[in-house]
Amino acid sequence: MYNKIYERKEFIIFQVKNGYIAYNTKKSFKDGHTHMRCFESAKTAIDLVIRRKVPRSTDLYYLTSLIRLSGDLSYITKIKELIKNKEEKINQKNIIKI
């Protein structure tokens, strides 16, 4: 495994060849890790999950990363609702363009 470069509560960040991996040690690695391109994004994701804050303006990949890191079902549900709303907006824009 890679060297840990950051740790906060049950979360750790590893530096890898193409960026960083944020990992929740209370989940299996397969289900509880996500890849990020920059360290600050990984650190912010961990902070959002710990504080159970839902970001309003971010992409679907980042929101999915928050789900992978979190173990809180109510927080995961809120993020999934936000993803659903964003996907509906994207689909509406595509329908209007056609």
Mean pLDDT of the chain: 91
**Whole-number pLDDT of residue 1:** 55
Q: Could you give the number of structural domains in the chain? A: 1
Q: What is the pLDDT of residues 55-67, one digit of tens each?
A: 977 899 999 999 9
How many CB atoms sit inside 10 A of residue 53's CB?
13
- pLDDT average, residue stretch 40-54: 96
- Residue 91 binned pLDDT confidence (cut-offs 50, 70, 90): confident
**Average pLDDT, stretch 47-60?**
92
Phi-psi region at 52: left, alpha or beta (left = phi > 0; alpha = psi -120 to 50) = left
pLDDT at residue 94 is higher than 80: no
Domain span holding position 34: 4-97
